[in-house]
Amino acid sequence: MKKILLFASLALALMASCGKKAQTDSETQPTPAQALITRLDNLRQKGYMYAHQDDPFYGVTWQWERGRSDTYELVGDYPALMGFDLGGIEMGDAKNLDSVPFTWIREEAIKHVERGGIITFSWHPRNPRTGGTAWDVTDSTVVRNILPGGEQHEKFIGWLDAVTAFLKTITYKDGSPMPIIFRPWHEYNGSWFWWGEKLSTPDEYKALFRMTYDHITKQLPTNIVWSCSPNLQGYWTEEAFLSRWPGDDIIDLVGEDCYQWGTEEDFVRQATTDVVFLSTYAKEHGKLFAITECGMQNSPVADWWTRVFKPVIEQAYLPSYFLPWRNWHADHFGASKDVATADDFKNYYAQPNTLFLKDIQ
Ligand code: BMA
């Protein structure tokens, strides 16, 4: 009973905190975003989902073959959630920064929602001032320059329109919008992207996020679930976290990008501290929590998933999902039959609290 009351009050907190999206099309009909938030809230009581970036396009030993999936070929099920990246849409490119045609991204995103899955989009836009990549950090005035009053503002609004135009095409057959988790301006506490910590003041970063939210929400008011994810920090103080937090009124899902790049000990200590801090923040503020990117590059440690990663994510308060990054040949992070972690991942899959597509359909 206590549990039921807790869940009921959490659901209410979630509804209240996502006030804007709780607005209904009619008295009874939740918006697609609100329905997805409620679905995510219900699912996290059951367990947490496996998500994978670019799952349908390529894997550890193959590329651009339709109908394949490293996840499916290992465990006989698709990821519950699939991630795709919009980098390049702002340039009018036909393919994204990782050479995936946008037409194919649209097709797979729609297919995944139609079969009961959930989709999330990230965005690694080019540098609007220098024309370089998202990783071009040679100019620390970029964010300032694209905000209202800045030289590149109009141009950047055009970029947001390009993102919006693409997201608008993710629809059901009747033309109504599908729910989408959108996660722009990620890893902002590092300084490897042009919107990073040393490249913008806290106020500039927050203004960038809010401008993005306002502009896209004007055109897509009902179907976007907004996610914001810093990178693994290893410690968070409320003050440090809040200094760049875009705001509870516009964010629905608190994420963290959590890779093991260094030693296992460092990863476990830092990631545990972070997921506890962030998921507690999410809980107290009526938000969802997920590990929005993760993995250990090229899976060198055979039991990494169940021995190292699982205990970390299970320290979090009701995590929704974890999303290993793409399986791009010699640069891969997710599950696959072709890597050393294959058997261990099958054990992870078999746990009652890990959810794949069939568990959420
Ligand atoms: C990074 C790397 C890049 C890629 C980018 C966007 O983490 O995988 O190779 O271009 O993500 O997917």
What digits encode the pLDDT tens for the residues 342-358?
A: 999 999 999 999 999 99
Given ligand 1 and candidates 55, 89, 97, which is best to mutate, with the most ligand atoms within 8 Å of its CB?
Answer: 97
Overall domain count for the chain: 1
257 pocket-lining for ligand 1 (C-beta < 6 Å): no
Q: Can you read off the two tokens belonging to residue 250?
A: 């516009």
Q: Ligand 1 within 6 A of 85 CB?
A: yes
Start-to-end CA span in the chain (Å): 27
Atom of ligand 1 nearest to the CA of 124: 6
CA separation for the pair 166, 104 (Å, rounded): 12
CB 182 within 8 A of CB 226: yes
Most distant CA atoms of the chain, gap in Å: 58
21 falls within a domain: no
pLDDT at 15 over 90: no
- The pLDDT confidence band at residue 330, using thresholds 50, 70 and 90, is confident
The pLDDT > 70 percentage for the chain reads 93
pLDDT score, position 8: 46
Interval 178-185 mean pLDDT: 99
The pLDDT of residue 27 is 62
Q: Is the CB of 54 under 6 A from ligand 1?
A: no
Contact (Cβ atoms closer than 8 angstroms) between residue 181 and residue 227:
yes
Distances (CA, A) of 49 to 17, 134, 354: 23, 28, 6
Specify the ligand 1 atom closest to the Cα of 328: 8
Question: Quick check: is 275 in a domain?
Answer: yes
Give residue 38 CA to ligand 1 midpoint distance, Å.
Answer: 30
Determine, yes or no, domain membership for 201. Answer: yes
Distance 258 CA to ligand 1 centre (A): 14
pLDDT at 3: 40
Pick from 224, 231, 233, 360: nearest CA to 293: 231
Query: Which residues are registered as beta bridge partners of 53?
Result: 83
Distance 225 CA to ligand 1 centre (A): 22
Our CA angle for 201, 133, 83, nearest 5°, is: 90
Count CA atoms closer than 13 A to 253's CA, side-chain side.
32
SS3 152: coil
What is the structure's pLDDT at 26? 54
Question: CA dist 1 to 6, 7, 8, 171, Å?
Answer: 8, 10, 10, 39
Has residue 331 got a pLDDT over 70?
yes
**Mean pLDDT score across all residues of the chain:** 94
What atom in ligand 1 is closest to the CA of residue 54? 12
Structure tokens at 276: 């506890």
Within 10 A of 66 (CB to CB), how many other CB atoms are there? 9
Asked which of 12-26, 51-65, 84-98, 179-193 is least confident by mean pLDDT, the reply is 12-26
Query: Is there a domain that residue 25 lies in?
Result: no
CA-proximal residue: ligand 1, atom 9 (nearest): 98
pLDDT band at 32; cut points 50, 70, 90: very high
Give the separation between CA 352 and CA 355, rounded to whole angstroms: 8
Residue 114 lies in a domain: yes
Q: Whose CA is nearest to atom 7 of ligand 1?
A: 325
| Residue 1 within any structural domain of the chain | no
Q: Are 109 and 82 in contact (CB under 8 A)?
A: yes
CA angle 109, 344, 296 (to 5 degrees): 65
Rounded distance from Cα 85 to ligand 1 centre (Å): 9
Return the pLDDT at 151. Answer: 97
CA of 5 to the centre of ligand 1 (A): 42
| Range(s) of the domain holding residue 133 | 8-16+30-360
Predicted confidence band at 7 (pLDDT cuts at 50, 70, 90)? Answer: very low
22 within some domain: no
**Is residue 238 exposed (0-12), middle (13-18) or buried (19+ Cβ within 10 Å)?**
exposed
Q: Is residue 3 part of a domain?
A: no
- CA 124 to centroid of ligand 1, rounded, Å: 8
Output the domain CATH number for residue 124: 3.20.20.80
CB distance 97 to ligand 1 below 6 Å: yes
